[in-house]
Every structure is written in structure tokens, then in C-alpha cells.
Amino acid sequence: MDLPTTGWNLATCAAAGERDALVRLWLAAPLDQLEAFWMSPLGEATRQMVRQLTPQTEFTPAQVATRDSLGRWFNQNGLQHPLAAQFMLANFLYSPPGLLRINAAEQQFPNWLVTAYRELYETAPQAGSPTTPIHTTPAPDFGAFPSTLQELVNNRIQLNRMLGLSNLYYIDPEDQEILNELQQLRLQLVEAICRCPEAQLEQLWATDLGDRYWAMVRSGVQKEALSPADEQRKQAATVTLTPHLGGGGFGSPGALNAFLVAMLYYLPGAMQVDQPQQKLPAWLLEPYQQIFAQPATA
């Protein structure tokens, strides 16, 4: 166990940005005290920190890794597991309003947590009374999705939207609204990948764009039925990568673009590269082997 090197105060943690300390506290909280904690100054501090988040908020790599771990846990264990309530409270602290939606929350959580979720993510707080809902929050305006990857890497709103939708679908693939939005975003991303000069891909994938892309690959959205436009993009990428279908295969112009597109349409484990060490560049080989070459977790 790593011992703390500094202390923190509940009264000032929101102003001091002690987000990770609150996450650790919720993850370790006793089950029988969760509601009492939420109604206490601990819950108020958590609410304050959630309301500080916007779609533009930048999270550290460690925070993104924790949020991804929570998403995988929910996908594997569901929302009715005994630990789900406290894990969701921790997840709140990394989830901006507008980027977290829970389908049929009243069927998943106790009443106090349903109220907490709705106050934070479905209603807007009244000035001076942070826990009193006054009206339904309108859907956030994320703006137009960038037409190029070069524009996308500097657009924090869309990068966080990519990550948020991928994680939301991973947690609850039955939510049709989330699925529709994620599929639309995927097609826009695919079109931007197709437009990108191949020589720029390595540099772009070294940014947060790469992290968001792999989150979408891991989400499992590939198993859903494709629109005609998506089917066309999938088939075009497949042909490019397959010499006997008339494409040039790996090493031909545009092959890396096509491979990045293909991984957004084929489930992990469903498409294998023969001798990947020889066909894939180093920047793509490791994540391909770790994330895509293995079958997706059921």
C-alpha cells in the first residue's frame, strides 16, 4: 500500500482540486454508509466537483485510466452489483454533465442515488442552492465535428465526447440514444481518417486522439448493424487491405488509413493480421496486439 505524502481537507477539497482523493474515498467507502456519506459534507464536496466539469475538461492519463477501469468493471459486472453504487459515485467525479447517461436509472440504483444522478446529470441547479433542480438541462451543443484529424486533435470538446460516448456504450450497450450518437460520430471519424495523409498518422495517434480512438475500438460498437454509408466504408477498407480482392494490401498507399478504419468496424479478435511485426509500424503494432488482436471481453 502506498502511503500518502500530503493531507487534504474536505471543506477545501473542491477549491483545491482534490478530485482523486475523493475518488479513492468513494471506492473504499463502507457499503452501509454510502447514503449517509452522500447526504453529508462529503457528498456536497463531490457535487461541487462534478459541477466543475465541462466537456472541455482535460483529465490526466491516470484519471482516464481509472475511468476506463470503472467502465470495464461496469460492463463485466452490471449496475446491480453490490459495489456498483460506490463505483458510480467515483465515476461521477470523472464524468462531465452531458457525457454521462444511465438508461432506466431507477431500475438500477437505490432511490437516493437515482436522485443524485438526476440532480447532477438531468437537471440544472438553482443559483445559491446547488442541490435543488429547477429545469431540465438542454442537450449540450458540441458544435460540428471537425472534418480533419488535424483539427480534431485540438478540439477538447469532441475528444471528450468521443471518450464519453465510447465509455457510455461500453457500460450500457442497450441505450439506443447513445448507440445512435456513437455510430454517427464513428462515421465522421472514419471520414476524417480517410482524408488524412498517411505520413501524419503516427504523429496524430501520439496525441489524445489515439487514446480516444482505442476507447472506441474497445467499446464493442462494431457488433451493431451498419448503415449503408458505414458498410461502404468497411468494404472499401477491406478491399484496400486484401490483394486478392483487388487492393494493394499492407505497404500500399493508404493501407494504414484503411487499417485504422477497419478496426472501427471489425470486433477485436475478428480480423487478424498475418505477420503483423512485418506489416505494421511500431507505433501501431503494440496497441493492435494488446487491444485488437485479442477477442473482445463478453
Q: Tell me, what DSSP letter sits at residue 292?
A: I
SS (H, E, C) 89-143: HHHHCCCCCCCCCCCCHHHCCCHHHHHHHHHHHCEEEECCEEEEEEEECCCCCCC
Average pLDDT, the chain: 84
Q: What is the reported pLDDT for 98?
A: 73
pLDDT tens-digit profile of 170-197? Answer: 887 888 888 999 999 999 999 999 999 9
With 0.85 as the threshold, say if the pTM is over it: no
CA distances (Å), origin 264, targets 117, 183, 189, 269, 294? 31, 10, 10, 12, 15
* CA-closest candidate to residue 169, choices 189, 183, 157: 183
Residue 247's pLDDT band, with cuts at 50, 70 and 90, is confident
Residue 1's pLDDT band, with cuts at 50, 70 and 90, is low
C-alpha of 47 from chain center: 21
Query: Which stretches within 78-124 are classed as H helix?
Result: 84-92, 111-121
Helix (H, G, I), strand (E, B) or coil at 226: coil
